[in-house]
Chain A
Amino acid sequence: MFNKALWFQNYKQSKFLIWILLALFVVQMPLQAILSVESWQERSERTTYSEEYVYEVQAWDVMQIFSQGMFTVFLAAAIVIFASLLIGLERNTRRSDFTFSLPYSRSSLFLAKWALGSTAVSVFFIMNFLPAYFIIYQSEFREALSLVSSIEIFWAPLLGYIFFFSFSLLVGSITGEMVSQIILTFIFGFLPIIVFRLVQEFMQVHDFFLFHIGSEPQWIEYATPFLYAAGSMGSLPGVIAAVLFTAVCLWGGTVLYTKNNLEYNGEFLMFKKLNPVLVVLLTVMISFFGGMIVSSLAPWGADALRILSYWIGFTTFMLFALLIIRRLIKMNIIFSGKAV
């Protein structure tokens, strides 16, 4: 896992993203902390002119700096691309031939990628967390830090990013190239929520309820990898789940990477037995999505029309999905490079 040559090789092929990751962490934490303290000061000063209004920094304001907000989404996206540079791009080009010809076990190759990514995420997170924390601590809003727990602002986001990176590598161990790795990481990253929403909409249109419709049950949130990176798991069970899922992804990714047949590099999936599963899953999801979109155009009161439009949308999207996904499954993207 800590082989110098593999560290160097992996760094070399992903250094561009590693520095982008650092830049994003710098903007998310220390820079945002400075700007937030400034804007809190400004709001606080404004309240001195108004007797009815008292300004207090909320827990939400602090969490925006450390674990939530749009920068967590950018970081999640960067993490997916980082993982895809380590595995997917290697498969698209002929670099994986070089990597797999080296005198290392395939599990060492996979673990070295995980170790580099997890170390980069951890080091960058910690080295930006500390100054951001200090900036708030030394300001007049020090008390705001007592509104949040260490789990919410440190452990949950840090372990969440590591889990999401491990999850992206796991997806990379079954996909044959970079684009499919990115697409499937995002699809599976949101899958539980997507499925829940699609089923919910189906039931609503047909006035047929298998379960109570409301906000997502907690377990759906726990099962959605993307939410870990987006800082929505700021609780002890969330942190425990992140650690457990990281272990599962690491074990699963190592096993699958070891079983990779490199002749399928460049194709959508490495394991051909998964093709029918993926075709069915994506087709069904896209069909349900089509039903949801088209039925939303029908007036709310016209129930029969909504059901009819739902099935029109379902069928149309299903046909397109079948056409596109079958092509996607058969594609082969290899940038072979010039001879010599």
Chain B
Amino acid sequence: MRVQHISKHIHHKPILADIDFSVEPGSIIGIVGRNGSGKTTLLRSLAGILTPTRGSIYIDGLDIFKHPEIKKQIIFVPDSTEALKNYSTKELIYLYKNIYPEFDTSYLFSLMKRFKLSQISKIGNYSKGQKALFTLITAFATGASYILLDEPTDGLDVIVKKQVLQLLVEEVSDRRLAVLISSHRLDELEFMVNEVIFIKQGKVDSHYELDTMKNEYKKIQLAFAEKMPETLKDEVEILDKTGKVYTVLIPRGNIPLEEKISESMPLFYEELPMSLEDYFVAKLGGPNDV
């Protein structure tokens, strides 16, 4: 899938600006950003629901807006089952079989059995967790190559969340699918994604492979006899401050800055493991940004 320079204006305001990236089979990409940064708009555009003001989305070289039949390779799983809640499982299977020629009913039943989901007369009657699992399972059964998930674990309990995430990882590795996930839950994304796209004010702020990204910054804990020198404060990203102990992020390999820290004679200096959340705070804004 090639997302080529898409921009989207809504009510004359730019919501997405010049978004450009590619999605390769076998990858799980996390789309991360603050509230209102344009994550859902991006996913809805990728599914062909919203028409970009500029740019387009291509699958196998075909523009999805000019060749909508190519969207058989995409399935969008929104954060609500509103559209399907009145269907019975049997009806939904009938519907999907007619939409997606590669829909695999036996595979669907095997996954339903695995997660103890019985056939039901109204999908809306499943519990919240069951609905999440069922929509995810049906999405995988369609045989689509690109699965677009909008906040897939929002509001789920820990057990179901674990099942959902495990299923995702298994499917991607077994079937060479590409999954794009928009989520606020950075701890969950960290568990499964191999690429992260940071969206800031409708633009791709950065697009990294997870491992590369973690090597870009260094998370350290520092303690000073008094407070941190003002000259240092301007150059580091303070993640946390408890008394005289600071947790900061600094760009890895910035030798002059490391020397400056060392010259400021910290009482304590320790490197901590980086998390996606640390990177998110560093990249997408400080505590005063909403």
Q: Chain A interface (Cβ within 8 Å of chain B)?
A: 3-5, 8-9, 12-13, 93-106, 261-263, 272, 335-340
Contact of A97 among B76, B87, B131 (CB under 8 A): B76
19 more A-B residue pairs beyond the given contacts A94-B78, A101-B76, A337-B80, with a C-beta to C-beta distance below 8 A: A5-B95, A12-B91, A93-B82, A97-B49, A97-B76, A100-B47, A103-B69, A103-B71, A103-B99, A104-B69, A261-B50, A263-B8, A336-B82, A337-B82, A338-B128, A339-B80, A339-B155, A340-B81, A340-B156
Inter-subunit contact B50/A336 (CB<8 Å): no
Q: Are B80 and A262 in contact (CB under 8 A)?
A: no
Known contacts A100-B49, A104-B68, A105-B68; is-contact A5 B98 (Cβ 8 Å): yes
- Chain A residues with Cβ under 8 A from B154's Cβ? 339-340
User: CB-CB < 8 A to B104: which residues of A?
Assistant: none
Evaluate contact between B80 and A94: CB separation under 8 angstroms.
Answer: yes
Residues of B within 8 A of A98 (CB): 76, 78, 83-84
Determine if B87 and A5 form an interchain contact, defined as CB atoms under 8 angstroms apart.
no
Contact of A4 among B8, B11, B48, B98 (CB under 8 A): B98
Report if B51 contacts A (CB, 8 A): yes
Q: Could you jot down 17 A-B contacts, CB within 8 Å? A: A12-B87, A96-B49, A97-B44, A97-B76, A98-B84, A100-B47, A102-B71, A103-B69, A104-B68, A261-B51, A262-B49, A263-B41, A336-B80, A336-B82, A337-B81, A337-B85, A340-B81
* B51 with A101: CB separation less than 8 A: no
**Whose C-beta in chain A lies nearest to the C-beta of B51?**
A261
Give min CB distance, A73 to chain B, whole Å: 30
Residue numbers of B with Cβ under 8 A of A are 8, 10-11, 41, 44, 47-51, 68-72, 74-76, 78-87, 91, 94-95, 98-100, 128-129, 131-132, 135, 151, 154-156
Contact (Cβ within 8 A) B49 A340: no
> B47 contacts which of A5, A101, A272, A338 (Cβ < 8 Å)?
A101
- In angstroms, Cα B79 to Cα A336, docked, is 10
Q: Judge whether B71 and A340 touch: CB under 8 Å.
A: no
Residue of B nearest to A100 (CB): B49
A174 to B68, CA, bound (A): 22
Q: Is the Cβ of A5 less than 8 Å from the Cβ of B51?
A: no
Separation of A132 and B75 alpha carbons in the complex (Å): 48
Bound Cα distance from A100 to B47, whole angstroms: 8
Task: Tell me the smallest distance from the CB of A19 to a CB of chain B, in Å.
Answer: 15
A330 to B156, CA, bound (A): 35
Chain B's closest residue to A340 (CB) is B132
Nearest CB in chain B: distance from A296 CB, A: 42
Report Cα–Cα, A16/B169, bound state, in Å. 41
Chain A nearest CB, measured from B76 CB (Å):
4
Chain B proximity of A337: nearest CB distance (Å): 3
What's the least CB distance linking A150 to chain B, in Å?
38
Closest to B49 in A: A100
B131: contacting residue among A8, A93, A100, A340, CB under 8 A: A340
| Closest Cβ neighbor of A9 among chain B residues | B95
How far does the Cβ of B69 sit from chain A's closest Cβ, in whole Å?
5
Q: Contacts A8-B98, A339-B155: A100 and B80 contacting too (C-beta < 8 A)?
A: no
Residues of B with C-beta under 8 A to A99: 83
Which of B49, B68, B81, B82 meets A335, CB within 8 Å? B82
Please, which residue of chain B has its CB at the minimum distance from the CB of A335?
B82
Give Cα A60 to B94, complex, Å.
48
Chain A residues in 8 Å Cβ range of B129 = 340
Alpha-carbon separation in the docked complex, A9 to B94 (Å): 10
The interface residues of chain B lying within 8 Å CB-to-CB of A5 are: 95, 98-99
- C-alpha spacing A139/B110, complex, angstroms: 62
- CB of A97 within 8 A of CB of B94, answer no
Contact A93 B83 (CB under 8 A): yes
Q: In whole angstroms, what is the CA distance A13 to B82 when docked?
A: 12
What is the CA–CA distance of A103 and B68 in the complex, to the nearest angstrom? 5
Residues of B within 8 A of A8 (CB): 91, 94-95, 98
B110 CB, nearest partner CB in chain A, Å = 22
